[in-house]
Amino acid sequence: TQLLEQSPQFLSIQEGENLTVYCNSSSVFSSLQWYRQEPGEGPVLLVTVVTGGEVKKLKRLTFQFGDARKDSSLHITAAQPGDTGLYLCAGDPKSGGSNYKLTFGKGTLLTVNP
């Protein structure tokens, strides 16, 4: 079983601060996804990264896939209360995007205080 370890598990910051959350594994993944989940809702896909070293930006969010495709990070600049939520990473261990069994991390619960 390939595991994805997310850190930190909990993060509470003030509005305007920057933060980084990590998703690490000892296994190689063909792609990696980041989701955000708000209380009482289902996870919403933010981004998929597929190439080692890839960097994707989504407004104030920057996602990076490690060169060896074993890890990823999510950096948020100038966090806002609307960024509050559970951030999940998920990985596809097989090439071609045709594996049905994604591996999910346990999540980072982010709270941004006004």
Partner 1 sequence: NAGVTQTPKFQVLKTGQSMTLQCAQDMNHNSMYWYRQDPGMGLRLIYYSASEGTTDKGEVPNGYNVSRLNKREFSLRLESAAPSQTSVYFCASSDLRRTDTQYFGPGTRLTVL
**Does residue 106 interact with partner 1 by CB under 8 A?**
yes
Q: Which of 25, 31, 64, 108 binds partner 1 (CB under 8 A)?
A: 31
Q: Which of 44, 55, 68, 78 binds partner 1 (CB under 8 A)?
A: 44
Considering only the stretches 18-26, 51-59, 66-74, 85-93, report the one whose residues sit in contact with partner 1 under the rule CB under 8 A: 85-93
> SS3 for the chain, per residue?
CCCCEEECCEEEEECCCCEEEEEECCCCCCEEEEEEECCCCCCEEEEEECCCCCEEEECCEEEEECCCCCEEEEEECCCCHHHCEEEEEEEECCHHHCCCCCEECCCEEEEEEC
Q: Which of 13, 28, 46, 102 binds partner 1 (CB under 8 A)?
A: 102
**Does residue 99 interact with partner 1 by CB under 8 A?**
yes
* Residues in contact with partner 1 by the rule CB under 8 A: 30-31, 33, 35, 40-45, 48, 88, 90, 92, 97-102, 104-107
